[in-house]
């Protein structure tokens, strides 16, 4: 089974299914989203969508209305294609720990989602995710995915690694291979047994090769679609691996084990 470990709801949803079919991808982890760059038709509309993305990854979009809209889209997509999408639910980080625990139970477990993410704590405040990790542990070790590209910093990655070690039953996935801090992300993952690296948006192919070589059992193929392309993301993994057990693990085997598929 080939599983894209990182994708966002598309508008229209069937365009995402077409991309997965073209890439030969069986299933995809699906996150809710506020920005929709695939809707853009020109530079001005693309800038508008990117301004929403900037708010999201900077932790400035924590209002309840933004979450409700993203939850509705995610619910709809997963209901339309339950055999293709594996839903992950996002929760607010600007709430007391008790409320975060209740939100995980209601908005993630209660909706039948298989993990939590993609979380976007503000830069230099990655410690905000600790109540989520505790809640994930309380529900049997749900995987938790955290945004890894900018504005996430190297210091944030170090904080995340420290939190992962404090919650060893929770698989903590750093998305986008840690962005420009990919070398730090690889070093931290190598030292942290429950820290995983999702490989989308890598800025150079050597980063993908090195990550797989150093952390072969904890690297995950992902596209970050619609920002990335499943065909190209899969080709990148296949470019740096040979056919066989290792490639199969990266392209879906490891994630299937984490999710009990």
DSSP string covering 159-211, please? HHHHHHHHSTTS-EEEGGGGGGGHHHHHHHHHH-TTEEEE-TT-SSHHHHHHH
| Type and span of the H or E element at 102 | helix 97-103
- What's the pLDDT at 49? 87
Dihedral Cα 155, 156, 159, 160, nearest 10 deg: -140
* CB contact at 8 A, 221 and 2: yes
Q: Which residues contact 112 (CB under 8 A, 6 or more apart)?
A: 87
Contact 261, 143 (CB under 8 A): no
Q: Where are any strands of DSSP class E within 64-187?
A: 85-89, 115-119, 144-146, 172-174
**pTM of the model as a whole:** 0.94
Q: What is the pLDDT along the chain (261 residues), one digit of tens a residue?
A: 999 999 999 999 999 999 999 999 999 999 999 888 898 999 999 899 888 888 778 766 656 666 788 888 999 999 999 999 999 999 999 999 999 999 999 999 999 999 999 999 999 999 999 999 999 999 999 999 999 999 999 999 999 999 999 999 999 999 999 999 999 999 999 999 999 999 998 879 999 999 999 999 999 999 999 999 999 999 999 999 999 999 999 999 999 999 999
For residue 62, the model assigns a pLDDT of: 56
- What is the reported pLDDT for 242? 97
Instruction: Supply the pLDDT for residue 71.
Output: 85
pLDDT at position 230 is 97
Give SS3 for 8.
Answer: strand
- Paired with 37 in beta bridges are none
pLDDT value, residue 63: 61
Judge if the upstream peptide bond of residue 107 is cis by omega within 30 degrees of 0.
no
pLDDT for residue 138: 97
CA distance 142 to 138: 9
Position 65 scores a pLDDT of: 66
Pick the closest to residue 197 from 180, 174, 223 (CA basis).
Answer: 174
Residue (of 119, 14, 20, 111) closest to 71 by Cα position = 111
**For residues 192 and 172, what is the distance between their CA atoms, to the nearest angstrom?**
10
Q: How many CA atoms lie within 13 A of 224 on its CB side?
A: 21
């Amino acid at each position: 089974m080939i599983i894209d470990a990182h994708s966002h709801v598309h508008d229209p949803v069937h365009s995402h299914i077409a991309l997965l079919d073209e890439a030969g991808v069986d299933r995809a982890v699906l996150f809710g989203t506020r920005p929709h760059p695939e809707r853009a038709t020109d530079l001005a509309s693309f800038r508008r969508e990117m301004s929403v993305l900037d708010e999201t990854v900077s932790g400035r979009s924590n209002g309840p209305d933004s979450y409700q809209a993203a939850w509705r889209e995610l619910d709809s997509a997963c209901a339309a294609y339950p055999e293709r999408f594996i839903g992950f639910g996002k929760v607010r980080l600007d709430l007391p720990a008790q409320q975060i625990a209740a939100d995980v139970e209601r908005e993630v477990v209660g909706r039948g989602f298989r993990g939590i993410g993609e979380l976007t704590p503000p830069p230099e405040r990655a410690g905000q995710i600790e109540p989520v990790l505790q809640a994930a542990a309380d529900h049997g070790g749900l995987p938790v995915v955290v945004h890894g590209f900018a504005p996430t910093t190297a210091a944030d990655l170090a904080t995340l690694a420290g939190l992962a070690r404090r919650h060893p039953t929770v698989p903590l996935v750093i998305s986008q291979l840690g962005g420009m801090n990919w070398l730090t992300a690889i070093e931290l993952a190598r030292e942290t047994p429950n820290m995983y690296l999702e490989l989308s948006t890598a800025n150079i192919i050597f980063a993908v090769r090195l990550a797989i070589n150093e952390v072969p059992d904890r690297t995950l193929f992902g596209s970050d679609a619609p920002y990335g392309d499943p065909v190209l993301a899969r080709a990148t993994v296949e470019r740096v691996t040979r056919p066989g057990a290792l490639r199969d693990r990266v392209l879906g085997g490891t994630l299937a084990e984490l999710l009990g598929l």
